[in-house]
């Protein structure tokens, strides 16, 4: 869908602060509040705006450690194809430690982003929840030392 410039402005503002009201947005971009409200509702109905959420500070919530885990599926899982890969990614996605999971190309099949209180908790998660799945052949865990940028914003 091709977005109008006003829609792009609305989306940029909502990405930076999802609590902005239609009135607040109208003050920033001009126009009529009813038009801004209608545009927001239209983008929600079209699924351009999927949801609104609070962005939490993991350090203040006792989950400051981040890791990315690359996982490779064992040969039988490859042979079973997409159904097996979808099933295992859905199982892993259900763990509370998992923030993101992606099916990727290259030497690895899955990329998992996890949060934990420390390296021990991350290690425990990988060893006791990921590596115990018979479909997982091997993993590579990368601990994050520092995060320079982390966002869900999409440049529009």
- Tell me the pLDDT tens digit for each residue of 94-139: 999 999 999 999 999 999 999 999 999 999 999 999 999 989 999 9
Q: Same domain for 31 and 81?
A: no
pTM of the model: 0.86
Nearest to 112 by CA among 151, 20, 96, 2: 96
SS3 79: helix
Where do the H-state alpha helices sit in 33-118?
33-45, 75-80, 82-93
Average pLDDT, the chain: 93
Identify the domain containing residue 99 by its residue range.
65-143
* C-alpha–C-alpha distance, residues 100 and 112, integer Å: 6
Q: Same domain for 137 and 81?
A: yes
Residues counted in the chain? 156
Residue 139 contacts residue 131 (beta carbons within 8 Å): yes
**Structural domain count of the chain:** 2
Please return the burial class of 150, using the count of CB atoms within 10 Å of its CB with bins 0-12, 13-18 and 19+.
exposed
Q: Same domain for 34 and 79?
A: no
Q: Same domain for 36 and 72?
A: no
Low-confidence residues of the chain, pLDDT below 70? 76-82
């Amino acid at each position: 869908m091709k977005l109008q410039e006003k829609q792009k402005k609305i989306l940029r503002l909502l990405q930076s602060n999802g609590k902005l009201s239609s009135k607040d947005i109208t003050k920033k971009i001009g126009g009529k509040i009813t038009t801004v409200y209608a545009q927001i509702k239209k983008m929600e109905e079209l699924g351009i705006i999927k949801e609104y959420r609070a962005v939490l500070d993991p350090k203040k919530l006792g989950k400051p450690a981040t890791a990315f885990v690359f996982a490779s599926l064992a040969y039988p899982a490859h042979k079973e194809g997409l159904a097996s890969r979808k099933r295992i990614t859905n199982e892993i996605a259900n763990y509370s430690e998992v923030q993101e999971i992606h099916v990727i190309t290259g030497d690895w099949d899955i990329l998992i982003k996890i949060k934990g209180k420390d390296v021990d908790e991350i290690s425990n998660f990988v060893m006791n929840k990921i590596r115990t799945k018979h479909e997982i052949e091997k993993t590579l865990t990368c601990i994050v030392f520092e995060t320079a940028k982390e966002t869900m914003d999409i440049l529009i």
